Amino acid sequence: MREEKRVKRAIAGAMLIFGALLVPAGPAQAKVDPIKALKAQFVVGRGVKLKTVLQVRAKGGKGTVTQEMGVIQFGPKGAVASDLNEKTRYDKGFFNESTKDERDAKKSLEGPGRVISLPKVTYVQGPRAGEGLPEGKYWVRKRPMPPAPSGIIISVFEPNTVKTLIAQAAPVRGGVVKGSTTSAKMAALSPVFRKQFGPSGKSESGQISKITYVFSLDIAGLVTRLSVKMRMPVSGGTIVDYTSETRLYNWGAKVAVSPPPADAVVDEKDVKR
């Protein structure tokens, strides 16, 4: 009888443990809709902070590392403005085969810069502004550019883009989404991608790139990390690898992107090169 009671207690204990494993996920683990969560962030005067690091290198060769960090401002339909600080660094030895003049010219591109994108205009400062600015002018006014880091490759501020990429990815596990696509498909899908890499998504030699991506979602369904790799075949059989890592944080932060002082701005057409 005693043995029988011990067996029953052991079975009961095992069932309690098994039952605990079957308890439905609590609020922090409840299934969420990432697209609904993203659209809920599209509030005037709100935004998100981020940092993007883009590495561009010819396969087996040297290249550049560009860091961008700042804020994205939202409106009712998505990203409407951005204010990003950027800095590019060339790999050691990148200029070994360049002349002194070429090295000096390229080295000037390593200075810090800043890009402010607004709905109808973009302002650039630093290497993107170029040389030959009039005295007292530090900003160049240009045509509008997408309000996103140039190195992000995949814009996670486009609901349709995010929805499509999640749908064609492997099943979500632990808030991680992994998938692959091509540059041609991205060009057809994403307005930001088309602006950055052309309407066809093909390289100058007419070739299509392979893209792999990983999203990390928080418990609210918002992207907190984005890793993208794009392998681009170019002319001469060369392969150029783009590797982008983006961290997003402070979703819902108060953000108000403003233009630079008007007296410090010059139009691009008025800059002497």
Confidence of residue 8 (pLDDT cuts 50, 70, 90): very low
Task: Give the full edge-to-edge strand order of the sheet including 239-254.
Answer: 176-182, 210-217, 223-233, 239-254, 46-58, 63-75, 78-90, 113-118, 121-125, 139-142, 265-267
- Write the pLDDT tens digit of every residue in 143-190: 999 999 999 999 999 999 999 999 999 877 889 999 999 999 999 999
Pick the CATH number of 27-268 from 1.20.1330, 3.40.50, 1.20.120, 2.50.20: 2.50.20
- Distance between CA 102 and CA 104 in Å, rounded? 5
Q: What is the pTM of this model?
A: 0.83
Q: pLDDT, tens digit, for every residue of 9-43?
A: 333 333 332 333 333 333 344 578 999 999 999 99
Mean pLDDT of the 225-242 span: 91
Cα dihedral sign, 191-195-199-204: negative
- Tell me which residue of 241, 225, 244, 224 sits closest to 233, measured CA to CA: 241
So what's the pLDDT on residue 273?
Answer: 61
Res 226: pLDDT: 97
Cα dist. 84→29, 116, 194, 255 in Å? Answer: 33, 6, 20, 13
Q: What percent of the chain has pLDDT over 70?
A: 89
Each residue's pLDDT tens digit, 77-107 = 999 999 999 999 988 877 777 777 777 777 7
CA distance 203 to 172: 31
